[in-house]
Amino acid sequence: MLIFELSRSGRGSPALAPSAADLGDIPAECRRMSKPLLPEVSELDAVRHYTRLSQKNFSIDTQFYPLGSCTMKYNPKAAHALAMQREFLARHPLAPEDSGQGVLACLYELQEILREVTGMAGVSLTPMAGAQGEFAGVAMIRAYHESRGDAARREIIVPDAAHGTNPATATMCGYAVKEIPTDADGNVDLEALKAAVGPQTAGLMLTNPSTLGVFEQQIRAIQQIVHEAGGLTYYDGANLNAILGKVRPGDMGFDVIHVNLHKTFATPHGGGGPGSGPVGVSERLLPFLPVPMVGRDGNSYRWLTEKDRPQSIGRLSAHMGNTGVLLRAYVYARMLGGEGMKRVADMATLNANYLMAQLKAAGFDVTFGRRRASHEFIVSLKGLKEKTGVSAMDVAKRLLDKGFHAPTTYFPLLVPECLLIEPTETETKQTLDGFVAALTEIRDEAERDAALVKGAPYTTPVRRLDDVKAAREPDLAWKAA
Amino acid sequence: MPYIPHTEDDLQAMLAAIGAGSVEDLFDEIPAALRAGSLDLPPALNEMEVSRLMEERAAQDGRWLNFIGAGAYEHHIPAAVWQIAGRGEYYTAYTPYQAEASQGTLQTLYEYQSMMASLTGLDVSNASLYDGASALAEAVLMAVRAHKTSRRVLAVAGLHPVWQQVVKSIVGNQGIELVTVPYCTEGGHTMADSLSAHEGQDYAALIVAQPNVFGVLEEADALTDWAQGQGMRVIAVVNPTSLGILKAPGEWGAKGADIAVGEGQPLGAPLSSGGPYFGFMACKQELVRQMPGRIVGRTVDLEGREGFTLTLQAREQHIRRSKATSNICTNQGLMVTAATIYMSLLGPDGLAKVAAASHANTRRLVEKLTAIPGVERLFSEPFFHEAVITVEPPAGEVLRALKAQGILGGLDLGEWCPELGGHAILVCATETKSEADLDRYAEHLERIIAKRSQGPACTKLKPNENSKW
In tens, the pLDDT along A166-208 reads: 999 999 999 999 999 999 888 999 999 999 999 999 999 999 9
Helix (H) or strand (E) holding A281: strand A279-281
d(CA B261, CA B280): 5
Q: Which candidate from A87, A357, A465 shows the least CB-CB separation from B59? A: A87
C-beta separation of A206 from A234 below 8 A? yes
**pLDDT tens, position by position, A210-252:** 989 999 999 999 999 999 999 999 999 999 999 999 999 999 9
Count CB atoms within 10 A of the CB of residue A303.
18
Work out the pLDDT band at B468, boundaries 50, 70, 90: very low
- Which is nearest to A109 in space by CA: A294, A280, A337, A249? A294
Task: State the average pLDDT over residues B407-423.
Answer: 95
Question: What is residue B459's predicted lDDT score, i.e. its pLDDT?
Answer: 46
Closest CA–CA distance from residue B419 to any residue of chain A (Å): 18
Chain A nearest-CA distance from B23, in A, is: 6
Chain B residues within 8 A of A406 when measuring between CB atoms: 98, 101
Inter-chain contact B298–A470, Cβ cutoff 8 Å? yes
From residue A340, give the alpha-carbon distance in Å to each of A246, A251, A417, B37. Answer: 11, 20, 36, 14
CATH tag, B65-74+347-460: 3.90.1150.10
Distance CA B175, CA A173 (A): 10
Q: Chain B residue closest to A77 (CA)?
A: B88
A366 strand-pairing partners: A379
Q: Which of A78, A214, A478 sits opposite B50 (nearest CB)?
A: A78
User: To the nearest whole angstrom, how far is the Cα of B356 from the nearest Cα of chain A?
Assistant: 5
Listed residue (A392, A395, A384, A387) closest to A456, CA to CA: A395
CB of A252 closer than 8 Å to CB of A235: yes
Radius of gyration of chain A (CA): 25
Q: Please tell me which of the candidates A89, A163, A271 has its beta carbon nearest to residue B334.
A: A271
Region A346-374 average pLDDT: 96
**CB distance B118–A37 less than 8 Å?**
yes
Which residues of chain A does B29 touch, with a Cβ-Cβ cutoff of 8 Å? 214-215, 217, 371-372
Number of CB atoms found within 10 A of residue B376's CB? 15
CB atoms within 10 A of CB B422: 16
Q: What is the chain B residue with the closest CA to A158?
A: B322
DSSP letters for A15-43: GGSPPP---TT--GGGB--S--------H
CB A233 within 8 A of CB A255: yes
Residues of A in contact with B118 (CB under 8 A): 36-38, 477
Q: Which of A276, A208, A218, A210 is nearest to A247 (CA)?
A: A208
List of chain B residues whose C-beta atoms are within 8 Å of the C-beta of residue A119: 36
Count CB-CB contacts under 10 A for residue B380. Answer: 11
Residues of A in contact with B105 (CB under 8 A): 57, 271-272
pLDDT of residue B462: 44
- Nearest-CB residue to A172 (from B3, B13, B326): B326
Residue B186 has pLDDT above 50, yes or no: yes
The pLDDT of residue B247 is 98
Measured between CA atoms, how close is B205 to chain A, in angstroms? Answer: 19
pLDDT level of residue B455 (50, 70, 90 thresholds): low
Same topology, domains B65-74+347-460 and B79-342? Answer is: no
- Kind plus residue range of the DSSP H or E element containing A335: helix A323-361
Smallest Cα distance from B453 to chain A, Å: 25
Query: Which pLDDT score is estimated for B2?
Result: 87
C-alpha A207: how far from its chain's center? 13
For residue A283, give every residue at least 6 positions away whose Cβ sits within 8 Å of its Cβ, in sequence order, or none.
A121
Cis peptide before A412 (omega within 30 of 0): yes
Residues of B in contact with A4 (CB under 8 A): 111, 114
Nearest chain B residue to A78 by CA distance is B47
pTM above 0.90, yes or no: yes
Burial B111-136 (b: 16+ CB within 10 A, else e): bbbbbbbbbbbbbbbbbbbbbbbbbb
B192 pLDDT band, cuts 50/70/90, is: confident
Q: Which domains, ranges and CATH numbers included, belong to chain A?
A: 78-336 (3.40.640.10), 339-467 (3.90.1150.10)
The domain limits of chain B are 65-74+347-460, 79-342
> Who among A7, A174, A470 is closest to B311 (CB)?
A470
B383 vs A237, B188, B265, CA distance in Å?
A: 46, 10, 20
Average pLDDT over residues B91-120: 97
What gap in Å lies between CA A264 and CA B460, rounded to an integer?
A: 49
Distance from CA of A448 to the nearest CA of B (A): 23
CA–CA distance, B419 with A260 (Å, rounded to integer): 41
Structure confidence by residue, pLDDT tens digits, B360-381: 999 999 999 999 999 999 999 9
For residue A354, give the H/E element and its range. helix A323-361
User: Are A31 and B245 inside 8 Å of each other by CB?
Assistant: yes
Question: pLDDT grade, residue B456 (50/70/90)?
Answer: low
User: Mean of the pLDDT values across residues A347-352?
Assistant: 98
A470 and B351 within 8 Å at the Cβ level: the answer is no
Coil, strand or helix: which one is A171?
helix
Share of chain A above pLDDT 90, in %: 96
DSSP string for A453-481: HHT---SSSS-SB-HHHHHHS---S----
pLDDT of residue B469: 36
Contact A268, A70 (CB under 8 A): no
Backbone angles phi, psi at A187, to 5 degrees: -90, 165
Q: What is the pLDDT of residues B218-268, one digit of tens each?
A: 999 999 999 999 999 999 999 999 999 999 999 999 999 999 999 999 999
- A338 neighbors B40 (Cβ within 8 angstroms): yes
Give dist(CA A278, CA A137) in Å, integer. 10
Q: Flag if B103 and A460 touch (Cβ within 8 Å).
A: yes
pLDDT digits (tens, 9 = 90+) for A141-155: 999 999 999 999 999
Of A76, A103, A266, the CB nearest to B61: A103
Tell me the shortest Cα–Cα distance from B198 to chain A, in angstroms. 25
* Residue of chain A whose Cα is closest to the Cα of B329: A131
Measured between beta carbons, which residues in chain A are less than 8 angstroms from residue B127? 272
- Mutation target to probe the A interface, by most A beta carbons within 10 A, among B4, B136, B383 is B4
Question: For chain B, how long is the longest CA-to-CA vector?
Answer: 84
Query: Which positions ≥6 away from B293 have C-beta within 8 Å?
Result: B126, B127, B128, B129, B138, B281, B316, B326, B328, B331
Mutation site for A-interface testing, chosen from B159, B295, B330, B351 by largest number of A Cβ within 10 Å? B330
| Residues in chain B closer than 8 A to A350 (CB atoms) | 6, 11, 14-15, 18, 23, 26
CA angle A378, A381, A382 (to 5 degrees): 115
On average, the pLDDT of chain A sits at 96
Instruction: Tell if the CB–CB gap between B29 and A215 is shorter than 8 Å.
Output: yes
When CB atoms are compared, the residue of B302, B328, B347 closest to A463 is B302
Q: Given a cut of 70, is residue A456 above it in pLDDT? A: yes
Q: How many CB pairs under 8 A join A and B?
A: 683
**How high is the mean pLDDT of chain B?**
95
> Per-residue confidence at A413, pLDDT binned at 50, 70, 90?
confident
Selected residue of A33, A73, A92 to mutate for chain B interface (largest B Cβ count, 10 A):
A92
Measure CB to CB from residue B344 to each of A3, A76, A262 and give the nearest one.
A3
Residue A131 has pLDDT above 50, yes or no: yes
Answer whether B93 sits within 8 Å of A100, measured CB to CB. no
The ipTM assigned to this model is 0.98
Would you say residue B329 has pLDDT above 90?
Answer: no
Architecture of domain B79-342: 3-Layer(aba) Sandwich (3.40)
- If DSSP codes are grouped into helix, strand and coil, which group holds residue A55? coil
Of the residues B129, B295, B321, B426, the best mutation for testing chain A's interface (the one with the most A CB atoms within 10 Å of its CB) is B321
**Interface residue of A45, A51, A54, A112 to substitute, partner B, most B CBs within 10 Å:** A54
